Amino acid sequence: MVSKAGELSVVKAALLKIEKLQSELYDLRSSADEGFAIVGMSCRMPGGVQSPEDLWKTVVAKRCVIMDPPSTRCFDFGGVDHSISNPDIAAKMRGGYVQDPYALDSRFFGISHRELQSLDPQQRCLLELTWEAFEHAGIDPEKLRDSSTGVFVGITSNDYGRLLEMAGSAQERDAYFVTGNVLNTAAGRIAHTWGLRGPAISLDTACSSSLSALHLGIGSLRSCESSMAIISGVNLIFSPVATLALQKANVISASGYCKPFDAAADGYVRSEGGGVLILKRLSDALDSNDRIFAVVKGTAMNHVGPSAGLTVPTESSQIDLIKRALKASGLTAD
Whether the CB-CB separation of 35 and 296 falls below 8 Å is answered with yes
What does pLDDT average to over the chain?
89
Instruction: Dump pLDDT digits (tens) for 9-38.
Output: 777 777 888 877 776 655 554 556 799 999
Predicted pLDDT of residue 7:
63
pLDDT at 138: 98
| % of residues, the chain, pLDDT over 90 | 68
Helix, strand, or coil (residue 252): strand
pLDDT at 80 over 50: no
d(CA 228, CA 183): 22
State residue 215's pLDDT score. 98
How many Cα atoms sit within 13 Å of 141 on the Cβ side?
Answer: 21
pTM of the model: 0.87
C-alpha torsion sign, points 120, 122, 127, 132: positive
Report the alpha-carbon distance of residue 189 to residue 201 in Å, rounded: 11
Q: Is 75 helix (H, G, I), strand (E, B) or coil?
A: coil
107-142 confidence digits (pLDDT tens): 999 999 999 999 999 999 999 999 999 999 999 999
pLDDT in tens, 220-244: 999 999 999 999 999 999 988 888 8
- Torsion on CA atoms 272, 105, 141, 291, rounded to nearest 10: -50
Mean pLDDT confidence for 301-312: 87
pLDDT confidence bin for 309, thresholds 50/70/90: confident
* pLDDT (mean) for 144-155: 99
In this prediction, residues 314-323 reach a mean pLDDT of 93
CB atoms within 10 A of CB 57: 13
Give the tens place of pLDDT for each residue, 242-295.
888 898 888 999 899 999 999 999 999 999 999 999 999 999 999 999 999 999
